[in-house]
Amino acid sequence: MRLLLVEDDNHVAAALSAVLARHGFDVTHARSGEEALRALVPESDGFGVVLLDLGLPDQDGYEVCGKIRKRTATPVIMVTARADVRSRIHGLNLGADDYVVKPYDTGELLARIHAVSRRTAHEDAPSTEHEVRLGAVHIELATRQVRVDGTAVQLTRKEFDLLALLAQRPGVVFRREQIISEVWRTSWEGTGRTLEVHVASLRSKLRRPALIETVRGVGYRLVAPAA
């Protein structure tokens, strides 16, 4: 996979490039926002992922992310020392697919690169599925209807959006910031409490409290019932 590393520190870039190369990545190093944008011209062979540092010498990394998103759907992972929640949510709202805080574990970074790559490949593939079945819970995506044991369950718009998002990948943990960004389309920090309320409501309405699992300190995932 071709990977664009946007990092102004040559020592950091060299060390990370070596690690990525050992794991099969073909790394192109851009030292500034302008270099990164030039590398992402439409006629290029294309990159599988962009690793974007926010502390660039010529442009703010957030600004660069916005420009990248306007010209390509290539997944962007922000890599930065800015650890506050507001910064993470702002990055996700600008179109970043993930957000990794320095210092990070290399294994985690590799896992996140593969995760966004798989997700993008799945989203780009034509979808023929209009219904998700999770044991007795049937989710009809086209009609936005949910049935449990054959009985229709009335969900609010946001409750359905939340359930449909989690149902995209049963067993995979969705971070709280990602859910808030994709379902509520906002960076308002108070939405965190709203998310908890919607999860509790879904558990109650579906009569399956264990269907949505809380992963402490991270987010939520849908637990597929055993066959």
Q: What is the pTM of this model?
A: 0.55
Low-confidence spans in the chain with pLDDT less than 50? 122, 124-128, 188
10 Å CB burial of residue 103 (0-12, 13-18, 19+) is exposed
Domains and their CATH numbers in the chain: 2-124 (3.40.50.2300), 131-222 (1.10.10.10)
pLDDT by residue (tens digit) across 57-86?
999 999 999 899 888 888 899 998 888 888
CA distance 12 to 6: 11
Token output for 87: 């910064």
Mean pLDDT of the chain: 85
CA of 223: how far to CAs of 121, 150, 174, 214, in Å? Answer: 23, 20, 12, 10
4: three-class secondary structure by DSSP: strand
pLDDT of residue 57: 93
Task: Looking at the chain, list the stretches that DSSP marks H as alpha helix, in order from N- to C-terminal side.
Answer: 10-22, 33-39, 61-71, 85-93, 106-124, 157-167, 176-179, 191-206
174 close to 162: Cβ distance less than 8 angstroms: no
78 close to 87: Cβ distance less than 8 angstroms: no
CA distance 156 to 213: 20
pLDDT of residue 11: 95
CA distance 201 to 209: 10
153: three-class secondary structure by DSSP: strand
CA distance 152 to 224: 20
Token output for 159: 């409750």
CA distance 142 to 14: 47
CA distance 227 to 221: 18
pLDDT of residue 51: 96
